[in-house]
Amino acid sequence: GQQLNQSPQSMFIQEGEDVSMNCTSSSIFNTWLWYKQDPGEGPVLLIALYKAGELTSNGRLTAQFGITRKDSFLNISASIPSDVGIYFCAGRRIQGAQKLVFGQGTRLTINP
Partner 1 sequence: GAGVSQTPSNKVTEKGKYVELRCDPISGHTALYWYRQSLGQGPEFLIYFQGTGAADDSGLPNDRFFAVRPEGSVSTLKIQRTERGDSAVYLCASSLNPPSGGETQYFGPGTRLLVL
Residues that bind partner 1 (CB under 8 A): 1-2, 4, 6, 30-31, 40-45, 48, 50, 88, 90, 92, 94-105
Q: Residue 61: enclosing H or E segment and its boundaries? A: strand 61-65
- Compute the least distance from the CB of residue 72 to partner 1, in Å: 14
Return the number of the residue (42 or 112) whose C-beta is nearest partner 1: 42
Do 89 and 32 touch, CB atoms closer than 8 A? Answer: yes
- Compute the least distance from the CB of residue 76 to partner 1, in Å: 18
Q: Which residues face 85 on adjacent strands?
A: 108
Whether the bond into 8 is cis, omega within 30 of 0: yes
Do 63 and 77 touch, CB atoms closer than 8 A? Answer: no
- Compute the least distance from the CB of residue 41 to partner 1, in Å: 5
Return the number of the residue (70 or 92) whose C-beta is nearest partner 1: 92
Return the number of the residue (39 or 112) whose C-beta is nearest partner 1: 39
Cα–Cα distance between 18 and 80 in angstroms, integer?
10
- Compute the least distance from the CB of residue 56 to partner 1, in Å: 14
Return the number of the residue (99 or 112) whose C-beta is nearest partner 1: 99
Half-sphere exposure of 15 (CA within 13 A, CB side): 5
